[in-house]
Structure 1
Amino acid sequence: MPMEFFRDIIIETLMITGIVMVMMLLIEYFNVFSGGGFGEYVKKSSLRQTGISAFLGFTPGCVGVYAVVSLYLHRIIGFGGLLAALLATVGDEAFIMIALIPKTYLLISLILLVLALAFGLLFSGVKLRSIE
């Protein structure tokens, strides 16, 4: 019994690590393939950063937020974009809500999306000190 428990934990950990790695590789691919144009295009507008981030956060599951965190770590989006994604997300619970209460899920998600866009734009000018 304990060995099966630890085996399941290891499998889940490897799956999540793989998903995060794939998201980071996709972002690197887009940035390298576009010659840095993708990152520069997103960086030019706080509205663009916030909109893309909020949309990625709005998508069901955690993968969109993993992508936004990767964009933030690559300094492609700012704090406002990161905040927008984190406010817009419902996470993996979205799948259960879609199955059980689809109308309520849509209402909650749209409210979160509007709040995420508003607060993301409000905080898009915030510069955080570097830890370096």
Structure 2
Amino acid sequence: MDNIFKSAMRGALFFAAACLLLWGIVPEWKSVCAGLLLGAFASFMNALLLRRRVEIVGQAMANRGMRKMGLGLGSRIAMVLCVAMVAYKYPETFNLPATLAASMVMPFILLVSAFLHHKRH
């Protein structure tokens, strides 16, 4: 799973680099690119939170211990709401639809990364 996650993080960094490149090349799309970067950051953080949660549950099941309760889904939803509020408050800087679309990009990158990893092996 670590190899899949590392390659997905590389893909997310390429996505962010492409957004920065577009930001520099096409000045009319600055707010869209800034929204994409903000949403990609939230998606990246959500992936890290989900990875941590999966590791905790896996360790608890391996040790046959009690499952640790937490705010797994709540914290990930709060992250997306936080970036949506930032994009809503500063519409001249961040494009709200681009922010919301990019906040869901990491699961698709993970899916493609897992598919390519399993196709190789």
Greater RCO structure (CA 8 Å; 6+ sep): 2
TM-score, normalised on structure 2? 0.31
TM-score, normalised on structure 1? 0.29
Greater helix share, structure number: 2
